[in-house]
Amino acid sequence: MDINQYLVIAIFACTILALVTTNQRPSLIFSTALLALIACQQLVMGDVINNFTNQGLITLILLLLVSSAIDKTSLIKRFGRTLVTANFNRSYWRLFGLTFFSSALLNNTAIVASLIGPVKQNQYHHASRLLIPLSYSAILGGTVTLIGTSTNLIVDSFLIEHGHPGFNFWDFTLYGLVAGLSCGLLMFLMTPFLPEIANKNKQYNSYFLEADVDQDCELIGKTVEENHLRNLPELFLIEIARNGKLISPVTPDMVIQANDKLIFSGNIKQVGNLNHIKGLKLFAESKGLLRENLTEVIISNRAQIIGQTLKALGFRALFDAAVVAIRRDGEPLSGKLGEIKLQSGDFLLLATGPDFMQRHNLAKNFFILSEKKVETKLRGYQDYITIGGFLLTVALAATSVINLATGLLFFIATLVIAGVTSSNEIKRNLPINLIVVIVGALSLATALEKSGVIAQIMLLIGPWASSVSPIWALIMVYLLTLVLTELVTNNAAAALMFPLAYGLVQTLNAPIMPFALAVAFAASASFISPYGYQTNLLVFSASNYRFKHFIKFGLPISLCYSSIVLILLKYSYGL
C-alpha cells in the first residue's frame, strides 16, 4: 500500500472514531473529513461537486421538503389525536399501523416527530410503553419502499453510479412487509418488558388562549374524552365558557356544544394541533389575522391600555393586531380572552396586520420582544392538493411513468403556486446538516475507491472470498453494516459499506442486488442503540429512557428482523 492509501485509511478511521467517541455533530465530523481529503489531494473539487449532485441525495432533499408541506395537513395530526385509548392493545396496533404504513411513503422522522406529542399527552398509559415501539414502527415502515428511508435512496444512487439501473420502487416491499409485520407482532408480545417511566417535563412558557366552537364543528355533541381533547400535545383544556357562564374544571364527560368557547393553557407552538380540528376557530383567526409569524410583546408599566379588556379597547382597530394568547407570570388566568383586564407585565402574542409596525402608539404600550413561529392552517383545497398530489406523484414514479425526482420537483412547484409553501419556507427547511453528512460520507466512500483501498482489501480477503459461499459473504456484509449503523448513523453506514460490498461482489462474481439490499436493510436496522437512527434519538430525548432499555427491547427485534431479511434474500436470489 502507498502513502495515499494510508492517508485515506487514517482519515476514515479518525472519522469513525470521532463519531463513536465524541459528542460532536456528525455534520462537523464529516465536513472535517471532507476538508482533510481535499487537503491531502485524495479528492478534487469535481468529486465533491459530483456528490452534491448525487441523484439519491437530490431525491431525498425533495422528499424532505415535500414532507414538510404534508406535515402541515390535518392528516397525521387528526389521526394522532385519536390514537391512544384506554385499551392498551388497541392503542398499540393503531399506533403501529399508522406509523408503519405512513412511514413507507413519508419521511419516518417527521412521522415520529408529529406523533410524540399525542403519545406523551395521553391520559391512559405511560408514554415510555409506546415511544420505543413508535420509533421502531417508523424504522420498519421505512424499509417497505424505495422512498421510505434515506438509506434506500443513498444505496440506489451508488448502484446507478456503478452502472446498474438502480432499485425499482417495490424492490424492498416483500422483505420490508414480512420482516416489519413480524417484528410488529414480536414488539406487541414484548411490551410488558417496556419500562413505566414518568414523562419528562418540557420547559415552555404557558400561554392562555381561546377557541370558538362554530356551528359546523366536528366536536359538537361528543364529550371531551370522545373528542380526545386531553390528548393534545402540551395544550390543556382548562375551562369552557358557555352562555355567559364559566365551566371549570372541565370533566372528561362534558359534552361540547355549538358556540362554546374552549379555554386552553399550554405551549403556544402547539397551536397548530387546534387549527386542524374542523370548525374550531382561534380568537385571532376569527379576526382574520392569524399568520405563520406571531409577534410577542410585553405591556409596559406606563401603558394606556392597563386595566382595560381587549373587547372594550377595540384592540384590532387600535393596533392592527389580534391577540392570539396571553401569559401572566405568577398568576393563573380565567375567563374569556376578550374580557381579561390587561396588566403591566402581561405577555401578549399578536397576529399582526401590515400596518402594525407603523402605529404610533406601540412604544407607549408595548416592549416588542420577538417573533414566534406557529403552523398555519391550510385551506380545504390546499389539503387536497397536498395529499392528492403527493399520492399521484408516488404512483407515477412507482409505475415508472416519470422519474421520482422530476415528479417531486414539479409537485413542489405546484405547492408554491397553491400557497401551501413558499420559496422562503423551502430555504428554511433545507436539511443542511443532513446534506453535509451524506456528501461527506459519499466523498469518503469515493476516496476509498479512488485510492485503491477497496481493491487492496479485496486482494487481502481474496483467498477467503474465493472459498466462501456467497450467503456467508452476504451475512458478513450485513453484520458489518449493522454494527456500523449502531455506532455511527444510518446514512453514513450505507455510504461507507457499499464500496466494500461492491468489491466483494466483483471478487465473488455474484449478483449485486442481494448485497445492495443487504446494505440498505442493515443500515436501517438500528434497534439496539438510541443514537444510530434519528427516530430513536427523538424518543430517547422525549422520555427518561436509558441505554439499557433500548438494548433489552431492541436486541430481540434486531435478531428477528435480521434473520427474516437474510433468509428471504438467500431464497429470493438462490445464494
pLDDT band at 93 (very low <50, low <70, confident <90, very high): very high
Whether the per-residue pLDDT at 522 is higher than 90: the answer is yes
pLDDT of 452-488, one tens digit each?
887 787 777 767 766 778 899 899 999 999 988 888 7
Q: What whole-number distance in Å separates Cα of residue 349 and Cα of residue 321? A: 10
pLDDT beyond 70 at 438 = yes
Res 188 pLDDT > 60: yes
> Which element (helix H / strand E) includes 334?
none
C-alpha span between 353 and 322 (Å, rounded): 8
The arithmetic mean of pLDDT across residues 54-72, rounded, is 82
Digit-coded pLDDT (tens) for 289-341: 555 567 888 998 888 899 899 888 888 888 888 888 888 876 778 888 888 88
State the Cα–Cα distance between residues 121 and 238, nearest whole angstrom. 15
| Domain contains 307 | yes
C-alpha cell at 408: 417531486
What average pLDDT does range 17-42 have in this prediction? 84
192 inside domain: yes
pLDDT band at 184 (very low <50, low <70, confident <90, very high): very high
CA–CA separation, 375 and 268 (whole Å): 10
Our CA angle for 134, 140, 143, nearest 5°, is 145
The DSSP letter of residue 223 is B
What is the per-residue pLDDT for 286? 55
pLDDT for position 466: 67
Grid coordinates belonging to 93: 396496533
112 and 189, same domain (yes or no): yes
Cα–Cα distances in Å, from 3 out to 42, 48, 447? 11, 22, 13
Helix, strand, coil in percent for the chain, rounding step 5: 60, 10, 30
Distance CA 69, CA 62 (A): 11
Burial class (CB in 10 A: 0-12, 13-18, 19+), 308: middle
- Reading the block at residue 19, the C-alpha cell is 463519531
Q: What is the pLDDT of residue 564?
A: 96
Q: What is the pLDDT of residue 565?
A: 96
What percent of the chain lies above the pLDDT cut of 70?
Answer: 94
Say whether both 385 and 302 belong to one domain.
no
Interval 513-536 mean pLDDT:
90
Same domain, 100 and 188: yes
Longest alpha-carbon distance in the chain: 88
208 or 90, greater pLDDT:
90
More confident residue, 158 or 458: 158
Residues 365 and 385 in one domain: no
For cell 492509501, the residue is 5
| Residues 311 and 409 reside in one and the same domain | no
Q: Please give the C-alpha separations between residue 502 and each of 161, 449, 493, 516, in angstroms, as whole numbers.
A: 12, 10, 14, 8
Average pLDDT over residues 418-447: 84
Q: Is the predicted pLDDT of residue 373 greater than 60, yes or no? A: no
Domain extent at residue 420:
68-145+183-197+380-429
User: Is 260 inside a domain boundary?
Assistant: no
Q: What is the mean pLDDT of the chain?
A: 85
Q: Does a structural domain hold residue 332? A: yes
- How far is residue 334's CA from residue 332's CA, in Å, rounded to a whole number? 7
**What CATH number did the domain enclosing 297 receive?**
3.30.70.1450
Q: Rounded CA gap, 393 and 380, in Å? A: 20
Pick the more confident residue, 514 or 160: 514
Percent of the chain, pLDDT > 90?
A: 22
The pLDDT of residue 477? 92
If asked whether residues 359 and 422 sit together in one domain, one would say no
Is residue 435 within 8 Å of 29, Cβ to Cβ?
no
CB neighbour class for 455 (10 Å; exposed up to 12, middle 13-18, buried from 19): middle
Banded pLDDT at 377 (limits 50, 70, 90): low
| The one-letter amino acid at 545 | Y
How confident is residue 563, by pLDDT bands cut at 50, 70 and 90? very high
How far is residue 511's CA from residue 474's CA, in Å, rounded to a whole number?
A: 11
CA distances (Å), origin 62, targets 270, 425, 430, 489, 573: 26, 13, 9, 21, 32
In a domain, 533, yes or no: no
Helix (H, G, I), strand (E, B) or coil at 324: strand
Into how many domains does the chain fold?
2
Q: Are residues 327 and 421 in the same domain?
A: no
Distance CA(555)–CA(544), nearest Å, equals 20
* pLDDT value at 202 more than 70: no
- Categorize the per-residue pLDDT at 520 as very low, low, confident or very high, splitting at 50, 70 and 90: very high
Residues 84 and 111 occupy one common structural domain: yes
Residue 139: the pLDDT is 95
| Residue 425 and residue 325 in one domain | no
Is 493 domain-assigned?
no
Q: Are residues 102 and 191 in the same domain?
A: yes
What is the rounded distance in angstroms from the CA atom of residue 483 to the CA atom of residue 420? 41
Both 303 and 396 in a single domain? no
- In the prediction, which pLDDT does 200 show? 62
**Is residue 341 one of the residues assigned to a domain?**
yes
Cα angle vertex 34, ends 33, 36, to 5°?
65
Task: Answer yes or no: is 518 within a domain.
Answer: no
Predicted confidence (pLDDT) at residue 512 exceeds the cutoff of 80: yes
- Specify whether 316 is located in the same domain as 410: no
pLDDT for 494 beyond 90: no
Separation between Cα atoms, residue 384 and residue 378, nearest integer Å: 10
> What sign for the dihedral angle of Cα 423, 426, 432, 437?
negative
